[in-house]
Amino acid sequence: MAYHGDRPDLMLWLVNRMKQNKLTLLAGEAEILPGVRALPALDTHTAGSQYVTIENASDGRWLLAGDNCYVYESFTGTDGDGRFIPIGLAFGSMEQCMLTMEEMWQYVEGEVTRIVPFHEQNLWDTFPTRLFDDTLHVAELSLAPGEPSRIQTAPAAG
């Protein structure tokens, strides 16, 4: 059964998951794995917004934007003018949305393609990708040293 935010039994399901040690609530910034941090984006798009930073030895820093920006143009501007364009709807402070975007941009030292906005269609043009028969589209962003590409060698689903 799918649980949606408007379902009254969602809270009971979450409490049950926590009792089974299958849910961890984070209070502030937290390292969830070595080199992987979850950071709160307080008072921004929605309550509970966060983004994830990843730092690895093979190619440095990456950032999973969550719902704090949708596309690369959020950081580059529509004409490449470098003006931040926040998402259109925020239940929190628009100023805080912009400050959070600045934090994300600084983390990757302005290398926008190191930010992964989950709605960005240009991911498929920026990174090696594979479209499977069942319409699953996978982008390969980073490989451990010595690891071969799985995009080039993986057989298509069928």
Token pair in block for residue 61: 């820093």
pLDDT values of the chain reduced to their tens digit, one per residue, 158 residues? 565 667 778 888 888 999 999 988 888 999 999 999 999 999 988 878 899 999 998 889 999 998 888 888 888 888 878 788 877 777 888 889 989 999 999 999 999 999 999 888 888 889 999 888 999 888 899 988 888 988 865 555 54
| Domains, the chain, with CATH or none | 28-123 (3.60.15.10), 127-158 (no CATH)
